[in-house]
Amino acid sequence: MPNHKQTLVIVGNGMVGHRFLQLMVEKGGGDRWHLVTFGEEPRVAYDRVHLSQYFEGKTAADLTMVEPGFYQEHGITTYIGDQVVEIDRKHQIVKSANGLEIAYDRLVIATGSYPFVPPIKGNDATGTFVYRTIEDLDAIKDYGSQVKTGVVVGGGLLGLECANALKSLGLDTHVVEFAPRLMPVQIDEAGGAVLKDKIEALGVQVHTSKATTDIVSENGKLVRMEFADGEALQTDMIVFSAGIRARDELARNCDLDIGNRGGIVINEACQTSDPKVYAIGECAAYQDRTFGLVAPGYHMAEVVSDTLMEVVKPQQFTGADMSTKLKLLGVDVASFGDNFAKTPGSKELVVTDAIAGTYKKLVVNSDGSLLLGGILIGDASDYGTFSQLTQNQVKLSANPLSLMAPAVEGQTPSLSVENLPDTAQICSCNNVSKGQICSAVRDDHITDLPGLKKCTNAGTGCGGCVPLVKDLMQSELKKAGIEVNNHLCEHFPYSRQELYHLLRVGQIKSFDALLAQHGSGHGCEICKPAVASMLASTWNEYVLDRPHVGLQDTNDSFLANIQKDGTYSVIPRIPGGEITPEKLIVLGQVAQEFDLYTKITGAQRVDLFGARLDQLPLIWKRLVDAGFESGHAYGKALRTVKSCVGSTWCRFGVQDSTSLAIDLELRYRGLRSPHKLKSAVSGCTRECAEAQGKDFGIIATENGWNLYVCGNGGTKPQHATLLATDIDKETLIRYLDRFLMFYIRTADKLERTSTWFNKLEGGLAYLKQVIIGDSLGIAAELEAQMQHHVDTYQCEWAATLESPQHMQRFRHFVNADATDPSLVYVQERGQKRPATEAERAILKQGEALVTPG
């Protein structure tokens, strides 16, 4: 060890530069080196990977990567907001824009990259931006609040992130891509087509194979883009996100070697052509290749910190796996390994589900024994396992097609993490191996995911490896004989299923009684609503009675869904979508009288939005008097049983689907369950009611009804599974009673039927044995429990209106009758909607702003 500290200067305080400083601190670098860092942005390092969350309400402080006091505590000298403008290699000095000159013994360049702006005429016009820093985002937000249409030039990873940002600003959003498909580096033509369809379904228009030739402004304002094919696109603003280029100008100016395509040339130790100067991150080029992901930059930081701290066996950088998994505009996209099947003799296996909007391609070797790479779009849940099988060349034990396709009985084959070697890199962002994770669980006695993240850093980067990390932790705990904790929460040492059994068998009818007999403490926001749901589905008592009201979340406690501006929605039940003209008129009169935004939903109901808390009883009094009842849109309960008109009106219908839908909705209305329930009945196989995308769905046949269960839409759609065929109405109801109560008894908290089914040991065969074959001998009990629910049903709003005590809940202020003074609306398409933050800033309370359209 030297007798005095040497000076180590880090140029760049982005994600990679900060990670390098963290590693130096962890390895005791503060004892050997005086650490000095320069950052040209006006703030310390922040999370650029999740930058788009800035448009979703995250602040710069939320995105920061530097713990308060970290640099000061560890003696790191920081010059934030000061750019290094010159490196004098002869005298080993860096010079900054503010006139500082700092001598160094070793220098690390971590200057990252800059956005590439194509050389298009008009690319610097007012209304054009790049998407890179928080300052860029502030400028985009400010300008975007004044315009209606925005275009992103570039359909790659960053381009689609940027499109999501513009869409979140409320802009009519377009993506223009020069290549014939989106994300041309990561996905193939077929995958690009699926991704394009999904993104356009979300309201973003995609234009591929477009070469922009001119950006036209008129009277100082941007008006349109013109393309080489003669077409044009009207727009108010443009954001360039067409790729990045290495920030290598400092290295060029001091005569360090530069790659043929840019980037500072480095060797396996990340040394540049000057052995006292290192380069890491996007500014570095290894074997004439730069790396635009954070994980390779973190690996380079590991290599240089090992070298400078004289680790016995320092790591080396020999390239990087560019596998990636992202959620772009809410769509899962992943690619890994040899995704374009460039390996000689490789073969491609493709599964495309046009209805669900998923595309899965696996590339295998010639005999199908090894996974070489792949592409996943729409559903990337298996990305972690697939990428590990690829990186570690684990021999496949089954037909590789089975890795993508559901098994015969509806079960996805298990891909065990136990088959991976200890050297398998689970977290590429922080270079954490399977062995390190297992060691932390085994040797450091880590038993929960937050503790494992803190101990190993696994899962703290992009987060894509978290499912694998959790599986490894649970596997290692089981090996050690430690029971994997599936307790409801810290107050109840039972799973939801176990607690539900105790509640039912013990005839326990209140949270306090359950806590006294089987729990401890006072309860929390996890167990209270979960137990409230169990009590409701078991005993079906009025949820606002004193023993239950304190357990409910906001929506249930006010019997309405709270909206973004603090008002509530009013959604009466309309079984089967069937409504008389008289009731329809009442809905219109109520909406008009209380000035409510009105919308007909895809689930055959009329939603009324914008009701103040104090107005809810007045509105519901009118609706209950007209014969309406609560639609339970606020509860984890049955929402609707959607239907087509069936044989009553349709020439294709073979059964009366409307009557059956009404009967089922009236039977199961108000049924509380672990998660919301949706259903549908179609009158023929043309499936106009979309029954196969519901928690339970029925399709008419010539001979009766086919029953499907455990499907859902949402962020991860899943087709329902056929449980029974050609059954009559009585059998159908009997099976449904059993199925719903069995799900309510055994599912975890907030678990949809699809997720519950996927975890069900034995899959469809087991479910058939229980529901149809009564293998557990509980069928009569399940039917009786459902009949209890039917017999004890009451409309919660009707009950509330009859109770003066409960009516007192519906006021904004406990000590005054005043209404909420913060509500501000604008008129749009003839109805009111909540004002945006930008609109609120320019409006006085009570004024009207009419928007076009």
Measured in whole angstroms, the distance separating CA 422 from the mean position of its chain's CA atoms is 30
- Return the ∠ at Cα 587 (arms to 584 and 588), rounded to 5°: 90
Q: Which long-range contacts (CB under 8 A, 24 or more apart) does 310-319 make?
A: 311/27, 314/269, 316/268, 316/269, 317/266, 317/268, 317/269, 317/270, 317/286, 318/268, 318/286, 319/286, 319/287, 319/289
| Residue where the block lists tokens 């962890």 | 26
Tell me: is residue 438 an annotated ligand-binding position: no
Phi-psi region of 88 (alpha: psi -120 to 50; beta: other; left: phi over 0): beta
| Residue where the block lists tokens 């360090």 | 256
| Residue where the block lists tokens 């929460």 | 489
Buried b (16+ CB within 10 A) or exposed e, 365-395: beeeebbbbbbbbbbbebbbbbbbbbbeebe
d(CA 232, CA 248): 36
Phi-psi region of 72 (alpha: psi -120 to 50; beta: other; left: phi over 0): alpha
Strand 638-643 relative to strand 677-682: parallel, antiparallel, unpaired? parallel
Tell me: is residue 465 an annotated ligand-binding position: no
d(CA 427, CA 466): 8
Burial group, residue 91, by CB count within 10 angstroms (0-12, 13-18, 19+)? exposed
Contact 268, 317 (CB under 8 A): yes
Measured in whole angstroms, the distance separating CA 156 from the mean position of its chain's CA atoms is 19
Tell me: is residue 688 an annotated ligand-binding position: yes
d(CA 756, CA 606): 31
- Return the ∠ at Cα 474 (arms to 472 and 477), rounded to 5°: 110
The H-or-E segment that residue 707 falls in is strand 704-709
**E-strand stretches of 81-181:** 84-88, 93-96, 101-103, 106-109, 113-115, 128-130, 149-153, 172-176
Tell me: is residue 644 an annotated ligand-binding position: yes
Contact 533, 636 (CB under 8 A): yes
> Residues within the annotated binding site?
644, 650, 684, 688
> Residues within the annotated binding site for [4Fe-4S] cluster?
644, 650, 684, 688
> Residues within the annotated binding site for siroheme?
688
